Amino acid sequence: MKIIIAENYEDGCKKGAQMFLDLLARKPDALLGLATGDTPKGLYRELIAAAGDGRADFSTARTVNLDEYFGLDGKHDQSYRYFMEQNLFNHINLKPENITIACGVAPKSEEEARMRAFFDANPIDLQLLGIGRNGHIGFNEPEARLRSSFHYTALTEDTIEANSRMFKRSEDVPRAAYTMGVGDIMKAKSVLLLAFGPSKTEAVKKMCDDFVDPWCPATVLKMHPDATLIIDRELADAAGVK
């Protein structure tokens, strides 16, 4: 795994965005694996700026998202579809038919089958990831056994608590989600994980030791042939990453 220490959040987002811009220049119909959360917002701002001044063209690009809350319709303002529309899709020339996101209100078996068929037929070129404080990627939560394929999953108390900041009432925070499995993530040709700030220290320490640990799912990326971790200086210092 390649580790890049950026000066700060903006610098890390610029460096991450450049990987997407380089890919699109090389392969205009690339399949981009996208993520939600506060972390990738700056990278999306960079992509929007690049689309605005002609450095990027999304007209033939395709996207798929990592995960979606279970029980939230795509129009709900906390759904990940809504997040993507607000933070990226509404500002670039991506075609709606080239966007794939799990439907949070679709029945489990149908949605698992639909998304698994999508991943079987469509290899991801570059998968963007954030990381949970507990090391989760997508919604692959720490567990003794990690799931390989797209699946429905319950969320841990730690994740529910971390995500409650986005909801008015804690009882509104979804307790379950749909997510790509770790196998789907590992099948992406390239993977980029962004982590900024001290709350990710423990997870990043584990990403940088020598163990692959299902209790910190992001550690599987050590086995990926083309994985990049971008962290900021503050997090690198806190995690002891040189």
∠ CA 21-82-189, rounded to 5° = 35
Q: Based on CB atoms, which residue is closest to ligand GLP, 36 or 63?
A: 36
Among 13, 35, 84, 235, the residue binding ligand GLP under the rule CB under 6 A is: 35
141 catalytically annotated? yes
Phi, psi dihedral angles at 216 (to 5 degrees): -140, 85
Chain positions 90 to 109 lying near ligand GLP, rule: CB under 6 A, are: none
Work out how close the CB of 66 gets to ligand GLP at its nearest, in angstroms, rounded to a whole number: 6
- Residue 141 sits in the site that holds ligand GLP (CB under 6 A): no
Work out how close the CB of 177 gets to ligand GLP at its nearest, in angstroms, rounded to a whole number: 7
Beta carbons within 10 angstroms of residue 165's beta carbon: 9
Q: Dump the DSSP string for 26-73.
A: H-TT-EEEE--SSTTHHHHHHHHHHHHTTS---TT-EEEESEEETT--
Q: Based on CB atoms, which residue is closest to ligand GLP, 60 or 197?
A: 197
- Residue 130 sits in the site that holds ligand GLP (CB under 6 A): yes
Work out how close the CB of 166 gets to ligand GLP at its nearest, in angstroms, rounded to a whole number: 8
Phi, psi dihedral angles at 3 (to 5 degrees): -115, 125
For 57, the token pair is: 């063209």
- Residue 185 sits in the site that holds ligand GLP (CB under 6 A): no
Binding segment (CB under 6 A) for ligand GLP, from list 12-20, 88-96, 107-115, 127-135: 127-135
136 catalytically annotated? yes
**Site map (CB under 6 A) of ligand GLP, residues 38-67, x = contact:** xx--------------------------xx
Q: What's the Cα-to-Cα distance from 58 to each of 63, 64, 80, 92, 95, rounded to whole Å? A: 10, 14, 20, 7, 8
Phi, psi dihedral angles at 27 (to 5 degrees): -140, 90
Phi, psi dihedral angles at 4 (to 5 degrees): -115, 125
53 catalytically annotated? no
For 153, the token pair is: 């999953």
Work out how close the CB of 186 gets to ligand GLP at its nearest, in angstroms, rounded to a whole number: 16
Q: Which of 65, 87, 111, 134 is catalytic?
A: 134
Contacts with ligand GLP by CB under 6 A lie at 35-39, 66-67, 130-132, 138-139, 159, 163
